[in-house]
A and B are shown apart, each in its own frame.
Chain A
Amino acid sequence: MKRVAQIALPGPFRRENWSSPLRGPWLTSVLGAVLLAGIPVVAVTGLLSYAAYEPSLGRNNLIGDPGLLDFYVFSWPTSPSWLYALTQGLHVTIGIALVPIVLVKLWSAMPKLFEWPPLRSPAHALERASLALLVSSTLFQFATGIFNAQLYYPWKFSFLSAHFYGALVFIAAFVLHAALKLPTMRRSLRERRLLDELRRGLDDTKPETGVSALIPAAPSAPTISRRGVLGLTGGASLGLLVLSAGQSVGGPLREIALLAPHGRDLGNGPNDFQVNKTARSLGITPAQTGDRWRLRVTDGATRPLELSRAQLLALPQHTYELPIACVEGWSTTQTWSGVRLRDLAALAGAESFDELLVESLQEAGSFRRATLSPGQVRDRRSLLALRVNGADLSPDHGFPARIVVPALPGVHCTKWVSRLEFKATRA
């Protein structure tokens, strides 16, 4: 061991080469404390999103055998109707806003990567392995999530399963790291008061004191104050929040979301709101959705009812203001009118059913069908929507008919519905 410690070390392994006077356990701990508050929000809302897909129903589960992880899946509620818009909006928006905090935190702890000797003991080896996993899974989760929200898939694996199980790697490594470092963090935070630090300008910015591998052995003169770094990091985070929150909050804020994929104004018409997957991109033709279109409704046992759009419009119509909330974090609230799903169940003679299988005209794609729970079907606001904002649905919004259910993830609000089967899976 001694000999290893004495050899001449290349650049980054030499402590005196890390000269930033700002690095130190206090700064790292402040950033760590912010992440300790923010990361659980992103992690929990992410796990909730999995539950919101009701993976135990029908073929809703798209990540393969859920294995041990189905334990927390509960029946996803329909109230409040904005529940999924909130949880998924938080997941994506807070996730994006944490990017600068994560990057500066990594910068602040970087000397640790080049520790020498690299392995002091088996305990140290395990610690470094779990840290490598933490850094790697953090970058992986942030990159895949952010790319997915921009419909960019430069990889070959399945996003859904990799982002879900990647989260498990990340959560395991994060919880371990937080537990291990909590005492250090609390001790370091007591070293300086945040408010005092925010009053200090460049001239009063001195290196941290104490014993820590993060404190530079040979600090250079500061070129920015500690409050400058914190302000820049916080400001960057706030800036990203402003650049993306509007696509979830909607209203006038949407247009402030300059760089967000769904932050754009589409016009003032009844159907001028955000589209996710156009009719054309999924091969839906006017011939399929024209006068010959019929909705087949069945309880699985008797011959299906066939209803034309005119017949559906002759049934009692109901109107509700409900959000469409996408897994990519954006949402939009519109006024939908159509037939209640529970009325259609009664019409099909389905007295007791365990799930509703909804099928689309769409022939390809993971979401050409979705299964809804009895609770989702029985909510009075759950509609087979035929109209939106007083006009017929446009082809891109699912004409002739689409599902709109409160708090249901957007991709399960199936468009171009062709068939409804109220199934009794338990005899």
Chain B
Amino acid sequence: MRLRRAYGDGPLHLLSHVTALALAAYAFTRIFAGGQPWNVVLWFVGAVILHDLVAFPLYTGLNRLALGRRMRSVNHVRVPALLSALSFLVFFPLILGLGDGRYERATTLSQDVYLGRWLLLSGALFAASALLYAVRARRR
């Protein structure tokens, strides 16, 4: 009971957290042993900052901007925009041709096709959404 008051939870909580954190600390020593420890830290910390303090406020802000216009059609813009952004997020190294030509050297293929494919995919998403909007508007 004294533990609960001082610590804020039971012994199982304490033990499981200490175990997990110790295991994680061990794993970090192994990653650091592979070299470039500061670069590893930069990536672990940078990933959180980029998501929580850059990406999240950015998409929330964009969403508020879209809602601020009080369009009834807002989801017809939001949905294709989100899907397009998501496919970009996952495949942007290929789409933007990043990687110093490594892809081309490895596969014999040019990386150039991906930007066009992504633009076509995004265009198709917006077009499908617009079509659906038109159909719905006519029915009303």
Show the binding face of A for B, using Cβ within 8 Å. Answer: 63-65, 67-68, 96, 99-100, 103, 106-107, 110, 113, 120-124, 126-127, 129-130, 132-133, 135-137, 139-140, 143-144, 146-147, 150-158, 161-162, 165-166, 168-169, 172-173, 175-176, 179-180, 223-224, 228, 232, 235-236, 239-240, 243, 258-259, 261-262, 264, 266, 274-278, 280-281, 396
Chain B nearest CB: distance from A230 CB in Å?
13
Complex contact A130–B106 (CB within 8 A): no
Counted as pairs of residues, one from A and one from B, with CB atoms less than 8 Å apart, the total is 196
Complex contact A236–B86 (CB within 8 A): yes
Interface flag for B133 (CB, 8 Å): no
Chain A nearest CB: distance from B24 CB in Å?
4
Report the separation of the CA atoms of residues A122 and B33 in the bound assembly, to the nearest whole angstrom: 30
Interchain residue pairs with CB less than 8 A apart (30)? A68-B26, A99-B90, A106-B56, A113-B52, A120-B8, A144-B43, A150-B91, A151-B93, A151-B99, A154-B98, A156-B39, A158-B35, A162-B31, A165-B27, A165-B28, A165-B34, A166-B31, A168-B30, A169-B27, A172-B19, A173-B24, A175-B20, A232-B82, A240-B87, A259-B87, A259-B118, A261-B103, A274-B107, A277-B106, A281-B105
Report the separation of the CA atoms of residues A130 and B102 in the bound assembly, to the nearest whole angstrom: 37
Please give me the residue from chain A that is nearest to B105 by CB atom: A281
Given contacts A67-B30, A126-B17, A278-B105, 4 further A-B contacts (CB under 8 A): A127-B17, A176-B16, A223-B75, A240-B87
Complex contact A240–B90 (CB within 8 A): yes
Q: Which residues of B contact A151 (CB under 8 A)?
A: 93, 99, 102-103, 106
Chain A nearest CB: distance from B2 CB in Å?
13
Please give me the residue from chain B that is nearest to A224 by CB atom: B75
Q: Which residues of B contact A239 (CB under 8 A)?
A: 83, 87
Which one, B14, B45, B47, B107, contacts A143 given CB within 8 A? B47
Which one, A123, A157, A172, contacts B39 given CB within 8 A? A157
Complex contact B21–A150 (CB within 8 A): no
Q: Which 7 A-B pairs have the closest CB atoms?
A: A121-B8, A123-B8, A152-B93, A139-B47, A123-B9, A161-B34, A168-B27
Which one, B20, B95, B113, contacts A173 given CB within 8 A? B20
Complex contact B8–A100 (CB within 8 A): no
- Asked whether A259 and B121 contact (CB < 8 A) given A99-B89, A110-B56, A136-B44, the answer is yes
Report the separation of the CA atoms of residues A169 and B75 in the bound assembly, to the nearest whole angstrom: 38
Interface residues as binary, B1-44 with A (CB distance below 8 Å gives 1, 0 otherwise): 00000111100011011111101101110110111100110011
Complex interface residues of chain B between 48 and 72 (CB less than 8 A to chain A): 48, 50-52, 56, 67
Q: Which residues of B contact A232 (CB under 8 A)?
A: 79, 82-83
Chain A nearest CB: distance from B70 CB in Å?
10
Complex contact A172–B24 (CB within 8 A): yes
Report the separation of the CA atoms of residues A154 and B42 in the bound assembly, to the nearest whole angstrom: 12
- Asked whether A155 and B106 contact (CB < 8 A) given A67-B30, A139-B51, A165-B30, the answer is no
Most buried by B among A153, A240, A261: A261
Chain A nearest CB: distance from B46 CB in Å?
9
Which one, B6, B34, B36, B56, contacts A122 given CB within 8 A? B6
Report the separation of the CA atoms of residues A365 and B79 in the bound assembly, to the nearest whole angstrom: 44
Q: Which residues of B contact A275 (CB under 8 A)?
A: 106-108
Interface flag for B109 (CB, 8 Å): yes
Q: Which residues of A contact B99 (CB under 8 A)?
A: 150-153
Q: Which residues of B contact A175 (CB under 8 A)?
A: 20
Chain B nearest CB: distance from A27 CB in Å?
17
Q: Which residues of B contact A124 (CB under 8 A)?
A: 8
Report the separation of the CA atoms of residues A231 and B31 in the bound assembly, to the nearest whole angstrom: 38
Q: Which residues of B contact A64 (CB under 8 A)?
A: 30, 33-34
Please give me the residue from chain B that is nearest to A166 by CB atom: B31
